[in-house]
Every structure is written in structure tokens, then in C-alpha cells.
Amino acid sequence: MFLEKFYPDQEIGSAYDIPYEKLYELGYRGILFDIDNTLVTHGAPANKKAVALFRRLHAIGFKTMLISNNKEARVKPFADSVSSRYLYKANKPSRKGYLEAMRIMKTAPGTTLFVGDQLFTDVWGAKRTGIFSYLTKPIHPKEEIQIILKRRLEAIVLFFYHRKYRQ
């Protein structure tokens, strides 16, 4: 089915609810994260919760990378706050940014996870690259108009996804 290319591998309420220790035991070593509405509200700086998450991930042994379509002025301060590497203007869902992030982390698709809140950029790009994807619920409903329009299309895809996987 055409829509299946947008289906996440796993859907979860929040990036903070993922069982990272278990995933490390399963052999995952790198995690790519979207920022806005995945880790914090759109445009917000890193908060204590995000800093604590990345500290936990690094203590487990994960390499982390922020991968964003945003400008460096948005991404770098966040990355500095959570002690993570980053790619800005990643042009998601293009495979190029995902591949570059894995090259930098020295991981492969089979050992890398992606965590993001959007199907048509985050999840689709991860799937196109062979990376296991987690779709999170957006942290806050207030978003830019172009994202609001994409969310309506995402709702259609998620309807069929839920119908297939939640029977």
C-alpha cells in the first residue's frame, strides 16, 4: 500500500517514554532526534528534562545526533545544552542528512534509531534510509501553518496505520 512508506516502526507518546536501556541491549548504538515538538515545544531552548535525557543516553553508551531542517542558529544552542552533535538544514526526508549523521556517529542503519514527531519528514526519511523510527506525539498543538496542514494529511495516514496495527 502506498501509505505504508510513511508508517512509523513504533508509535509512542513521548521521546521521554522510550525504553532506551532495552534498545541498547538489543544492539542499538546511535539515536537521531528531531528537536521541535519532539524534545521541546517549537522554538524552545533545551529544558532540564531534555538535558537529563541526553545525560542518561550518554551514560548508557549511546551516541546522539540532532537532525533538523532548521537553521544552525536554532540547532547549535540546543545541541550545546544537551552535549550532542547536530546537523542543521538536513533537508529531511532526504536520505543525505540521515546518512551523514550515521557517518559522523559511526553507526549503521541496523544500529541507529530515529525519534521525531512528523511522518512526512522524520519518519519517511528514516524509513527511506533503513533506520528504525519512533513517532512521538507532538508536545504542543500550536504549530506553524505549513505543519498544521501536514498534520491533517498525517491524520489520514495514521488512520490507516492504526486500522492495520491496532485490530
| CA separation for the pair 115, 144 (Å, rounded) | 20
Q: What is the pLDDT of residue 60?
A: 98
Which grid coordinates are listed for 67? 537532525
Walk along the chain (167 residues) and give the pLDDT tens digit of each residue. 677 888 899 999 999 999 999 999 999 999 999 999 999 998 999 999 999 999 999 999 999 999 999 999 999 999 999 999 999 999 999 999 999 999 999 999 999 999 999 988 999 999 999 999 999 999 876 666 566 667 777 877 778 887 777 75
Q: Domains, the chain, ranges and CATH?
A: 2-165 (3.40.50.1000)
| pTM exceeding 0.75 | yes
| CA separation for the pair 99, 104 (Å, rounded) | 9
Burial letters 134-166, b for 16+ CB under 10 A, else e: bbbebbeeebeeebeebbeebeebbeebeeeee
Q: What is the pLDDT of residue 144?
A: 65
Dihedral angle over CA of 62, 19, 49, 37, nearest 10: 100
